[in-house]
């Protein structure tokens, strides 16, 4: 995997600029007939202007729900049961739906896995871009059309004047995703939530999209929360990484530190499971077992049934995030006590 170098302090803006996203002790619950299920448990994260934070983990880890909670798009009966979410220094988790609608698009943009779900097949690309731009910027129809053309050029769509008249089905998967990125940038939001933006694309198109995200992040000083299960995408795209497991954050740090020197047993397992381009092996490494369901989480550390170094304490108590080398990890290996 090719690692992207860490961002320098000058790329993060002035010291007084607030983070584009600050999540503190977020808890998300889903009430059911059989009790309340905790999907996100005490998660905190921070994204600075011009920074890409990769959020990685297996399916069911809580990555996408965290992004939806930030956007205010949790499906009923999901609810934020604790914590705070600040976007550009303003708290958003207490806003009404009407207030959130104004914030989404103007301060927050979203890129989802399947671009067809974000594009209306009945309207041209131009109509959708112009409507979004006018909604969040107040530009005239002509001004919005000019901005739409500029955005299409910026995301690398050739012949934008012609493309503006076309419909989503006339675009390839990669080009549709570029249109969705243009929509996310329509009002120049400070934060973009990108949920598996490359998963549905082939490898060559994936590389083009990740390169585009990096460039736009740098040029617009946009903070990006990049949700993915692919450590390769994280390595090539993100500045920092947050590893999630069963609704909790288990390790955070700079990408190069987490990839080359993982401190949590789960992260070590993820890295060991990536095939090497240089060494031939007969059997690929895997993490035995599976992530627990929300209603069957074990006591203590949720990873303990799959952990080869788990001790008695791991089965009783829940570890908190502590310093672990150059990273932070939620593991008793690093708290100075015994497992």
> Are 308 and 161 members of one domain?
no
Query: What is the Cα–Cα distance from 88 to 21, expressed in whole angstroms?
Result: 6
CA-based nearest residue to 217, from 258, 181, 252, 244 = 181
pLDDT of 2 above 70? no
Q: What is the pLDDT of residue 337?
A: 61
pLDDT classification of 118: cutoffs 50, 70, 90: confident
pLDDT of 114 above 90? no
Q: Which of 258, 292, 309 is the last residue of a domain?
A: 258
SS3 304: helix
> Are 247 and 134 members of one domain?
yes
> Are 184 and 319 members of one domain?
no
H/E/C letters for each residue in 18-30? CCCEEEEEEEEEE
> Are 168 and 317 members of one domain?
no
In a domain, 75, yes or no: no
Averaged confidence pLDDT in the chain: 90
In a domain, 78, yes or no: no
> Are 194 and 300 members of one domain?
no
pLDDT of 207 above 70? yes
In a domain, 114, yes or no: yes
Query: What is the Cα–Cα distance from 42 to 83, expressed in whole angstroms?
Result: 7
> Are 310 and 187 members of one domain?
no
pLDDT of 10 above 70? no
pLDDT classification of 198: cutoffs 50, 70, 90: confident
In a domain, 42, yes or no: no
pLDDT classification of 26: cutoffs 50, 70, 90: very high
Mean pLDDT of 274-282: 73
> Are 208 and 223 members of one domain?
yes
How far, in whole angstroms, is CA 110 from its chain's centroid?
10
Most confident of 276-280, 286-290, 315-319: 315-319
Query: What is the Cα–Cα distance from 28 to 41, expressed in whole angstroms?
Result: 7
Give the DSSP per-residue string, 230-248.
-HHHHHHH-SEEEEEETTE
Question: What percent of the chain lies above the pLDDT cut of 90?
Answer: 74
Question: What percent of the chain lies above the pLDDT cut of 70?
Answer: 94
> Are 162 and 273 members of one domain?
no
Q: Which of 258, 292, 316 is the last residue of a domain?
A: 258
Q: Which domain holds residue 196?
A: 50-67+96-258
pLDDT classification of 1: cutoffs 50, 70, 90: low
pLDDT of 108 above 80? yes
CB neighbour list of residue 278: distance below 8 Å, 6 or more residues apart = none
User: pLDDT, tens digit, for every residue of 40-99?
Assistant: 999 999 999 999 999 999 999 999 999 999 999 999 999 999 999 999 999 999 999 999
Number of domains in the chain: 2
The CATH number given to whatever domain includes residue 247 is 3.40.50.300
> Are 275 and 225 members of one domain?
no
> Are 315 and 277 members of one domain?
yes
CB 190 within 8 A of CB 106: no
Q: What is the pLDDT of residue 214?
A: 92
In a domain, 12, yes or no: no
> Are 171 and 273 members of one domain?
no
pLDDT of 339 above 70? no
Mean pLDDT of 159-169: 96
pLDDT of 336 above 90? no
> Are 118 and 237 members of one domain?
yes
In a domain, 22, yes or no: no
In a domain, 110, yes or no: yes
Q: Which of 258, 282, 309 is the last residue of a domain?
A: 258
| Residue 161 vs residue 199, higher pLDDT | 161
Q: What is the pLDDT of residue 5?
A: 43
In a domain, 147, yes or no: yes
């Amino acid at each position: 995997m090719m690692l992207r170098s860490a961002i320098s302090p000058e790329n993060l803006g002035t010291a007084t600029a607030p983070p584009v996203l600050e999540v503190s002790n977020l808890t998300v619950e889903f009430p059911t007939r059989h009790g309340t299920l905790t999907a996100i448990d005490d998660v905190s994260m921070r994204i600075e202007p011009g920074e890409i934070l990769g959020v990685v983990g297996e399916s069911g880890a809580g990555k996408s729900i965290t992004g939806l909670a930030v956007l205010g798009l949790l499906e009923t009966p999901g609810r934020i049961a604790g914590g705070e979410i600040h976007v550009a220094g303003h708290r958003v988790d207490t806003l009404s739906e009407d207030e959130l609608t104004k914030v989404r698009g103007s301060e927050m943009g979203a890129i989802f896995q399947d671009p067809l779900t974000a594009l209306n097949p009945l309207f041209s690309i131009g109509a959708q871009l112009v409507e979004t731009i006018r909604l969040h910027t107040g530009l005239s129809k002509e001004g919005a059309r000019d901005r739409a053309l500029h955005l299409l050029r910026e995301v690398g769509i050739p012949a934008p004047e012609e493309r503006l008249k076309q419909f989503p089905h006339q675009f390839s998967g990669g080009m549709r995703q570029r249109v969705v990125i243009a929509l996310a940038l329509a009002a120049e939001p400070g934060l973009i939530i990108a949920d598996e933006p490359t998963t549905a694309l082939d490898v060559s198109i994936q590389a083009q999209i990740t390169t585009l995200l990096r460039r736009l992040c740098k040029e617009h000083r946009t903070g990006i929360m990049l949700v993915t299960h692919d450590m390769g995408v994280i390595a090539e795209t993100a500045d920092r990484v947050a590893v999630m497991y069963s609704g909790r954050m288990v390790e955070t740090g700079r990408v190069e530190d987490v990839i080359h020197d993982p401190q949590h047993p789960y992260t070590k397992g993820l890295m060991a499971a990536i095939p090497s381009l240089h060494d031939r092996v007969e059997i690929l490494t895997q993490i035995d077992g599976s992530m627990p369901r929300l209603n069957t989480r074990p006591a203590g550390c949720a990873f303990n049934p799959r952990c080869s170094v788990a001790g008695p304490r791991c089965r009783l108590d829940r570890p908190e995030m502590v310093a672990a080398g150059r990273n932070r990890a939620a593991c008793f290996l690093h708290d100075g006590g015994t497992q």
